Amino acid sequence: MSKFYLVPTPIGNLEDMTFRAIKTLNEVDLILAEDTRTSSKLLKHFNIVTPMQSYHMHNEHAHLNRYIDQIKNGKKIALISDAGTPAISDPGFLLTRACIENHIEIECLPGATAFVPALVLSGFPNEKFVFEGFLPDKKGRQSRFLELQNETRTMIFYVSPHKINKTIKDFCIYFGEERRISISREISKLYEETLRGTCVEILILLEKKPIKGEIVVVVDRK
């Protein structure tokens, strides 16, 4: 039976791969991967030999209809990202929407995603929160911060290492130097670390000792 699967992959520790994810990737006809070089290592580790093709933000529009036609013609296709759950700050939204529009059955497996453990590790209120993903680089950045100044829920951001200091400086300006934040990096990996403090305290720490890796920043509610 044709179906489209969204399959989460580990964000670091390979032991976070679920039995169900391995079973699904073994059973589908084709795996779409954000980066086939990265994903080939994962598939090899779990002895998954299903054919794989590249599907990323630069080609998803061009290849969308082809994969929809393949699923409608009986194929089972799975989408994985480099790490975590597809469509969460990664490709997947367009293909999922197209499947819905074409009445194709979709199955999203539960699994790893970086912002949930970062939120829990922060110790901030989490009964209500907003996931902002990556902030705009230039165009729209200031206006986004001005909108977020009035946000009363805990906020979660993905930040690249070379932009972390600039982002925390912006937090000091728009959210206040005393606003509490939590930075989790390399979640589930060897050098996992969480830093907690006010915006200005964290900025001083980062200027003394830069950090690397995958970074999630959680901002305490207003």
Does 13 share its domain with 73?
yes
CATH code, domain with 189: 3.30.950.10
pLDDT of residue 160: 95
Which of 52, 82, 108 corresponds to the end of one domain? Answer: 108
Tokens of 222: 């207003």
Does 103 share its domain with 128?
no
pLDDT of residue 95: 95
Does 133 share its domain with 53?
no
pLDDT of residue 219: 98
The predicted-structure confidence for 14-45, as pLDDT tens digits, reads as follows: 999 999 999 999 999 999 999 999 999 999 99
User: What is the longest distance spanned by two Cα atoms in the chain?
Assistant: 57
- Domain hosting residue 147, numbered range: 115-219
Which pTM does this prediction carry? 0.91
Residue 171 to residues 66, 81, 123, 177, 202: CA-CA distances in angstroms? 43, 29, 19, 7, 11
pLDDT of residue 150: 93
Does 124 share its domain with 67?
no
Q: Which residues of the chain have pLDDT under 70?
A: none
Does 144 share its domain with 195?
yes
Count of domains in the chain? 2
Does 133 share its domain with 187?
yes
pLDDT of residue 107: 97
Average pLDDT, the chain: 95
Beta pairing, strands 154-159 & 215-219: antiparallel
Does 58 share its domain with 138?
no
pLDDT of residue 48: 98
pLDDT of residue 58: 82
User: Strands (DSSP E) along 27-85, which ranges?
Assistant: 30-33, 52-54, 76-80
